[in-house]
Amino acid sequence: MTNRGRVVKFATGNLHKFKEAQAILFNTGIQLEMVSAKTMEIQSDDLTEVAVASLRDARSREHGPLIVEDAGLFVESLNGFPGPYSAYVNRTLGCDGILRLLADSRGRSAEFRSAIAYTDDDLRLRVKTFLGVVKGRISDEMRGQRGFGFDPIFIPTGYDMTFAEMGVEEKSQLSHRARALEAFASWYLS
């Protein structure tokens, strides 16, 4: 099956995230259409709450099937920091900042989480959420040129490469975003 099936809008201002999501859903029959939108992002420790609030904001401008995704890196020894504040932390501290925070730490366990919120035309009747998680650890240094965000410092469990060292196909088979999008696609197409 090709991706010439149902069209779902994806509200995001992040072209990298959109292209990754598009590649993940390519063979599902779901065709993503990017709605370049800077959505309101509430301050919350819960990714799902952030995604649902962003969805409600995007819905005020867009109609039809719509998804919003919010993701975060949760570092165990930093008590889950940066978590849902990952985009801000990436802009201000970057990968180098996280590595400095962990310089004297032996605990490098971390996980990436992705929360997707979906609605069709009637926001009051139907908001579904999907969560994807991938466990791993923070590397000792930045490695790789692919990906975006914290990809150069995240090594998924069972691998020796960071997400930024993997090709799009390999990352798309195991990432947090892939898991959340696959859960969405399975529900949406059933």
pTM: 0.89
Residue 187 has pLDDT above 50, yes or no: yes
pLDDT band at residue 173 using 50, 70 and 90 as cut-offs = confident
In a 10 Å sphere around its CB, with 0-12 CB exposed, 13-18 middle and 19+ buried, how is residue 44 labelled? middle
Mean pLDDT of 33-62: 85
pLDDT value of position 126: 81
Residue 152 preceded by cis peptide, ω within 30? no
More confident residue, 147 or 51: 51
Instruction: Look at strands 30-36 and 6-12 and give their pairing.
Output: parallel
pLDDT band at residue 1 using 50, 70 and 90 as cut-offs = very low
Residue 4 has pLDDT above 70, yes or no: no
pLDDT value of position 2: 42
Residue 3 has pLDDT above 50, yes or no: no
> Which residues are within 8 A (CB) of 22 and not within 5 positions of it... i.e. 6 or more apart?
3, 32
Mean pLDDT of 88-92: 94
CB-based contact 55:42 (threshold 8 Å):
no
pLDDT value of position 13: 86
Residue 81 has pLDDT above 60, yes or no: yes
Round to whole Å and give the CA distance between 90 and 110.
15
Q: Which fold has domain 6-189?
A: Maf protein (3.90.950)
Would you give the DSSP letter of residue 76?
G
pLDDT value of position 123: 59
To which H or E segment does residue 114 belong?
strand 109-119
Does the annotation count 104 as an active-site position? no
Catalytic residue among 45, 46, 57, 70: 70
Round to whole Å and give the CA distance between 155 and 112.
10
pLDDT digits (tens, 9 = 90+) for 104-158: 988 999 999 999 999 987 656 689 999 999 999 999 999 999 888 999 999 999 9
